[in-house]
Amino acid sequence: MSPDKKKSGEKAYRAAQIEGRTSWKVEELWDGGVERGPYGTKESAIRNEEKIATQEGFIDELVLKEAIGETVSHTDAFDKDSEGRWTCVQGCSIEMGNKEIVFSEGMKFTKGTSYMGIDVAEWLDDNPKG
C-alpha cells in the first residue's frame, strides 16, 4: 500500500506547536476527534496521545501523520531581570522534574522559591537558551 493511502480504521493525528507559543497540541484528524494541549514538548504530546489510545483501545489504529513546529528554547518564554528574577512573557508548559508545568504570562520566579515542587528560577538558570 502506498504511504498516501489511508488504511481502513486508521486514526490519524498531528502534533503541532501552538502558534506563537513554545508549547504543543495534538489534533485528532478523524470525525469526532478532539484537540488537546498544551504540552511542554512534542514528545509529551505524542506520549499522551498514545496513552489515551491505549486506554481507549485504538492504539493499533493510531497513526502520527505529522509533527510541525519550530525549535524554540523554553527559556525564550521567560525574561530574567538584573536581580535574577524570571518573568513569564509567553504562556507555555515545560517538562521539569518529571512533570509538566503550565505557566501563564506575568508569573514571576525567584531562585530558592518552589513552585509545584520545582525551583523554576534555578531550573531556568541551569537550562540556558539554546
The one-digit pLDDT tens for each residue of the chain (130 residues) are 334 444 568 999 999 988 777 788 999 999 999 999 988 888 899 999 999 999 999 999 999 999 988 755 677 789 999 999 999 998 777 878 778 788 888 999 999 999 999 999 999 999 876 4
Question: What are the grid coordinates assigned to 103, written together?
Answer: 505557566
Question: What is the predicted pLDDT for the residue at 40?
Answer: 80
Q: Which residues have CB under 8 Å from 85's CB, separation 6+?
A: 108, 109, 110, 121
Residues 70 and 17: their CA atoms lie apart, in Å, by: 7
Nearest to 34 by CA among 42, 26, 44, 46: 26
Question: What is the predicted pLDDT for the residue at 4?
Answer: 42
Q: Which residues have CB under 8 Å from 104's CB, separation 6+?
A: 88, 91
Report pTM. Answer: 0.59
Question: What is the predicted pLDDT for the residue at 8?
Answer: 65
Q: For the beta carbon of residue 88, count every other beta carbon within 10 angstroms.
A: 18
Question: What is the predicted pLDDT for the residue at 130?
Answer: 47
Residues 51 and 54: their CA atoms lie apart, in Å, by: 5
